[in-house]
Structure 1
Amino acid sequence: MNEEHHGHVKQIESQPNSQLKRKYQYVYQWIEERIEKQSFQPGERLPSIRELSQQLSVSKNTVIRAYQQLEANQKISASARSGYRVNQTKATLFDTTPIPEPGFVDLMALSKKIMGLPVSREILPMGSAHPDTDFPAINSLYAEIGRHSRYQSHIPSHYQLPPGNDLLLQQLVGINRELGMTISKQSLLVTHGAQQAISLSLQALTNDGDIVLVESASYFGNLMLLESLNLKVIEIPASPISGIQLDALELALQRWPVKAILINPSFNNPTGYVMSTADRLRFLAMTHGIPIIEDDVFGGLAYQQRPLPLKTLDQDDRVIYCNSLSKTLDSRLRIGWVIAGKYQSVIEKRLLTDNMGSPNLIHSAVAQFLETGKYRQHLGKIRRSYAKKQKLFHNLLSQALGHYSQLQGQYHLTKPSGGFLCWLTLPENTDGQAIYQEALEHGISVLPGSMFSTNQRYAHCLRLSFANFRESNDWQRGLTQFAAIIASHTPQSS
């Protein structure tokens, strides 16, 4: 949540009324400026009347009057039981910054350096996108793996050829049904995580030097895949709230020959955005004929209902759907799957030659675990857990950042409606890489925004994970220290 410089507001209110506009107009202007600068994003819920009155040291009636005027001017809208939200106007959605020319990715060295750091020193593990595994179902899962390891020692060694373990395929059919897709076992291929599913999809769709379009910011693992395959990338700016800017996308498609689109439209990594159903339909319409790879690894972690996957809205069989159990169970399992439609045969051939079979032990054990029904119970628990953690984490970090005048009202911390990642946008002259380095020295891991783009567009941003957040003194002290580190690298505004 954004904070304002309390001293500045109090100074305003202490001046004679004859020298000032009405108080509510200052609140109006404070919100309007942040909407124009996209500190408050299109579709985002604004602070409650109580929250804003406390932030700005004004009465609730003053805030109510400002909100009413903003609504009358069609800048915000009232939502039943959820306060006010910023209107999704074309002016606030469309970024006029020119889209960079297609180019090759060069992130491998930076990513390897950051990913290779030891985790044992971490006091606050906010850098990795690994799920919280402190749940009873995870213990049951590994007990099942133990039983299968003992069993498999007594049977002949063999390869598990694609499409995968039959019982696992059956269970994945059920998981996909819960996600809104009715499919058969024959539609699925089990992969080594979603990363392999995406890699095989890119290989099936592109050749050396082809252009692939992605949203920006974009998951660094996907950018590294594009780098390894020697593909060019076009980055289309995306709102941290509503997703890829469709007007900019349309212009890019008119200008360049795009061979494929790679997109993560639900609880996006890194920003947490969710593309609305209306935007999904428009996206599919304007990209007619272009193959789409849908990365949906966080799709099962909606706190409430979420839009249907692109795959379910696809009328042309051109969306390749990729998912995994890495975010809902444990990333160490490396179990993913791809629903490739008309591209399935070519992907299956590549899968066979890449792997020459799947890890029998893990696949058979996970299949047996899924058959017990414990996975569905586990999903309910972790969704509730992450929803609670998101609120607590957001409040604690916002309070800590709000103690520094150079940050008050100058940052944006997203509030995702699913998953366990959030995106912190700081003033543009803030050095996110320096914050990352100093935080690491204090046992606080985060990821710098520079990892999520082929250019320095997000050098002032940070990706944070609250998956392992705990209501503890260690976390409270750690977030306080983290805020101090951020403030030390954020210059005072002139």
Structure 2
Amino acid sequence: MGTDLYRVKQSKYQSVIDYLRNAIESGVFQSGDKLPSIRQLSEQLSVSKNTVIRAYQELEAIGVLEAVSKSGYRVLATIEEKIETVAPSEVDLLGVCKEILSYPDYKELLPTGSAHPCIEAPAIRSLYAEIGRQSRQQANILSHYQLPPGEPLLVKQLAKLTQELGTPAPISELLVTHGAQQAISLALRATTQPGDIIAVESPCYFGTLLLLESLGLQAVEIPSCPRDGIKINALKEAIARWDIRAIIVTPNFANPTGSLMPLNARRDILTTPSTIPIIEDDVFGSLSYQPQLPSIRSLDTEQRVIYVNSLSKNLDSRLRIGWMLAGQYRQTIEKLLLCDNMGSLNLMQSAVGTFLSSGKYKAHLTRMTRVYQSNVKQFLTQFHQSASQYPKLKGRYRVVPVSGSFLLWIQLPEQTDCFALYRECKANKVSILPGSVFGTSGQYQHYFRISVANLSLYLNWKEGVELLVKLVAQHVEA
């Protein structure tokens, strides 16, 4: 989708929000500065006063601005931090990840630790009904392996979904995988050797770091902006300094920050040496609150981008249905895929292919995106309201607004130990994910990640947020 069309489709109040965010991030308005009055901004931007009011209210709800009695709005003070590029290093996260990924055997008060989607939806019930039908049908046919690229109907439907996301998806390039994790693993195995250096955005999804650990690869962590994603200049500096053999990037709503790479950065990353393959992870791309930007793959003219996607974040993580556009690496990757699996999950692939062809998926995606957007707004409103009860928290935490998915990245003062916070939260039946698992050098010890996917399913979630903030305040004050 072109950038002009992208701008046209934005709502007016969203354009005002973007204007204010850019002004704040560029330093035009700084922490504590008073913002233009509603009338002044309305005249300046040629929009209605109600549009400006809506924009100010949205930014207040997510903690960017604060209303001052009889004085309008001002920029809320936030903590800033400079993150440096971390030199290539081996990854060693397995032990701590096994601890935090263990599933509790009790009902949580606030289940915000795991990034699993909400499955309380009519389409999910239809999906599992289809899995049941396929199970009964397959009981009456001869057993066989489902060889790569995958079940034909599923391959066709996944190509269609990818095309609707703005990425040309030749069926001849598409391979069905056991989730996005296997797809990234296959891409790395096809393009690198043990000991090679891989560039990843920092903070980085812990599953990717674990994958590098298992393959004997080194990670060079490239600083990223919580709003705009990986810093392209820092990436280019790292490429000039080290022999980087592959780049892994999530342009749409990276895990954990929720960052969205701007269009100019998507183009700029393709100006890095064409000998370096780019693995584009797009598992959250379909959960955008606004029109999608073009994928890096769709901008690629040199066939160097390996595109990866999955149904784990927008249907059900238990399906383990992923896919990739392997491009020039398809032959190598298909061979690896066949040797790894000797065939795919016939039942799941045929059931999901039939479900996708029913037309229910698109309506489900629209519905869940609205749910996640509402959950983000409600969580942030409650979090900021609860935090206002603790004077020592004011200006000492930062939550970057997101424009898609259901993840939030929360920064606390540098001396805060969020792994200790995680353990205390767990003891109180509140789940968070400590930031320490999103880096290899402990640089995110004072961050934690929240998932609001299932927030609306818990009647007492506000009490859970209040308890979370109370625990945060105790650790910040410690």
TM-score in same-fold range (> 0.5): yes
SS of equivalent to 2:248: strand
Give the SS at the match of 1:400: helix
Other structure's SS at 1:174 match: helix
Q: Secondary structure at the match of 2:293?
A: coil
How far apart are 1:154 and its partner, in Å? 0.5
Corresponding position of 1:20: none
Inter-partner Cα distance in structure 2 for 1:334 and 1:244: 27
Task: Tell me the equivalent position of 2:209.
Answer: 223
Displacement of 1:100 after TM fit?
Answer: 2.6
SS of equivalent to 2:198: strand
**2:70 match:** 59
**What letter matches 1:108 in structure 2?**
L
For residue 185 of structure 1, give the secondary structure of its aligned residue in structure 2.
Answer: coil
The equivalent residue for 1:22 is none
| Alignment pair present for 1:470 and 2:452 | no
Distance 1:53 1:317 in 2: 40
Q: Secondary structure at the match of 2:422?
A: helix
2:276 maps to a residue whose letter is: I
Letter in 2 for 1:221: G
The one of 384, 391, 395 aligned to 1:405:
391
Q: In structure 2, what residue type is equivalent to 1:323? A: N
Residues 175 and 231 of structure 1: is their aligned pair in 2 closer, same or farther, counting only changes over 3 Å? Answer: same
Which secondary structure state, in structure 1, belongs to the residue aligned with residue 87 of structure 2? coil
Change (3 A) 1:469 1:304: same
Report the TM-score when normalising by structure 1: 0.82
Shift of 1:54: 8.9
Partner of 1:30: 31
Q: Distance in 2 between matches of 1:53 and 1:466?
A: 19
Query: In the alignment, what sits opposite 1:354?
Result: 340
Deviation of residue 31 (structure 1)? 3.6
Q: Does 1:324 align with 2:325?
A: no
1:125 aligns with: 111
CA distance in 2, matches of 1:491, 1:412: 16
Q: Which residue identity lines up with residue 59 of structure 1 in the other structure?
A: K
Mark the runs of 5 or more structure 1 residues left unpaired by the alignment. 1-26, 34-44, 68-83, 87-91
Instruction: Report the Cα distance in structure 1 between the residues aligned to 2:156 and 2:199, rounded to whole angstroms.
Output: 33
Are the aligned partners of 1:148 and 1:361 in contact in 2 as well (CA < 8 Å)?
A: yes
Letter in structure 2 aligned against 1:262 = I
Are the structure 2 counterparts of residues 28 and 97 from structure 1 closer, same or farther at C-alpha, using a change threshold of 3 Å?
Answer: closer
Letter aligned with residue 298 of structure 2: T
Residue equivalent to 2:197: 211
Amino acid at match of 1:256: W
Residue number among 351, 368, 373 corresponding to 1:382 in the alignment:
368
Question: Does residue 264 in structure 1 map to residue 279 in structure 2?
Answer: no
Contact 2:200–2:219, Cα closer than 8 Å, also in 1? yes
Paired residue for 1:275, among 241, 261, 264?
261
User: Which secondary structure does the structure 1 equivalent of 2:391 belong to?
Assistant: coil
In 1, Cα distance between the equivalents of 2:102 and 2:273? 37
Within 1, Cα distance between the matches of 2:357 and 2:64? 51
| Cα deviation, residue 282, structure 1 | 1.1
SS in 2 for 1:406: helix
Structure 2 Cα separation of the partners of residues 55 and 313 of structure 1: 39
**Structure 1, residues 35-58: CA drift from partner, whole Å, max 9, x if none?**
xxxxxxxxxx98779779994645
**Contact residue 60 and residue 67 of structure 2 kept, 8 A:** no
- Partners of 1:201 and 1:118 in 2: how far apart? 33
The structure with the larger Rg is 1
SS at match of 2:443: coil
SS for the counterpart of 1:286 is coil
- How far apart are residue 248 of structure 1 and its match? 1.4
* Structure 1 residue matching 2:322: 3-state secondary structure: strand
1:370 aligns to 2:326 (yes or no): no
- Large movers: runs of 4+ above 6 Å: 45-54
Query: Residues 152 and 29 from structure 1, CA distance in 2 versus in 1: closer, same or farther, beyond 3 angstroms?
Result: closer
Q: Which residue of 1 aligns with 2:296?
A: 310
**Could you tell me whether the CA contact under 8 Å between 1:429 and 1:491 is conserved in 2?**
no
SS of structure 2 residue aligned to 1:285: coil
Which residue identity is paired with 1:179?
Answer: L
Amino acid at match of 1:239: C
2:167–2:298 Cα contact (<8 Å) kept: yes
* Cα-to-partner distance string for 1:435-460 (whole Å, 9 max, x where unaligned): 10000011111100001000111100
Give the superposed CA RMSD: 2.5
What is the aligned partner in structure 1 of residue 48 from structure 2?
A: none
Question: What is the correspondence of 1:48-197 to structure 2 with a 5 Å cutoff?
Answer: 55=66, 57-61=68-72, 63=73, 98-118=84-104, 120-197=106-183
2:261 partner SS: coil
Per-residue CA deviations over 1:319-372 (Å, capped at 9, x if unaligned) read: 000101101100000000010100010000000000000010010011111111
Contact 1:426 1:461 in 2 (8 A): yes
State the match for 2:430 in structure 1.
Answer: 444
Aligned to 1:81: none
Deviation (angstroms), 1:477: 0.6
Give the total of aligned pairs: 429
Change (3 A) 1:50 1:96: closer
Q: Is the 8 A contact 1:53 1:59 kept in 2?
A: no
Are residues 149 and 458 of structure 1, via their aligned partners in 2, closer, same or farther at CA, if it must alter by over 3 Å?
same
1:37 matched residue in structure 2? none
Q: Is the 8 A contact 1:126 1:466 kept in 2?
A: yes
How many Å separate the matches in 1 of 2:289 and 2:83?
A: 33
SS of alignment partner, residue 127 of structure 2? helix
Task: Mark the CA change 1:233 to 1:29 in structure 2 (over 3 Å): closer, same or farther.
Answer: closer
**Closer, same or farther in 2 for the Cα pair 1:120/1:100, shift >3 Å?**
same
Contact 1:212–1:231, Cα closer than 8 Å, also in 2 = yes
The answer for the alignment partner of 1:200 in structure 2 is 186
Instruction: Specify the alignment match of 2:8 in structure 1.
Output: none
Letter in 2 for 1:30: S
Report the residue type matching 2:31 in the other structure: W
Q: CA deviation at 1:117?
A: 3.6
- Taking structure 1 as reference, are residues 187 and 330 closer, same or farther at Cα in structure 2, changes over 3 Å only? same
Cross-structure match for 2:442: 456
Contact 1:407 1:487 in 2 (8 A): yes
Tell me if structure 1 keeps the 8 A contact 2:176–2:324.
yes
Aligned to 2:286: 300
Aligned equivalent of 2:229: 243
Residues 109-130 of structure 1, C-alpha deviation per residue, up to 9 Å, x if partnerless?
A: 1101111242533221111110
TM-score, normalized by length of structure 2?
0.85
> Contact between 1:194 and 1:337, CA under 8 Å: does it hold in 2?
yes
Unpaired stretches in structure 2, ≥5 consecutive residues: 1-27, 35-54
Q: Which residue identity is paired with 2:178? A: H
* 1:59-87 C-alpha deviation (Å, 9 max, x unpaired): 335x4xx78xxxxxxxxxxxxxxxx9x9x
Cα distance in 1 for residues equivalent to 2:200 and 2:118: 28
Alpha-carbon distance in 2 for matches of 1:409, 1:347: 49
Assess if the C-alpha contact under 8 Å between 1:190 and 1:338 holds in 2: yes
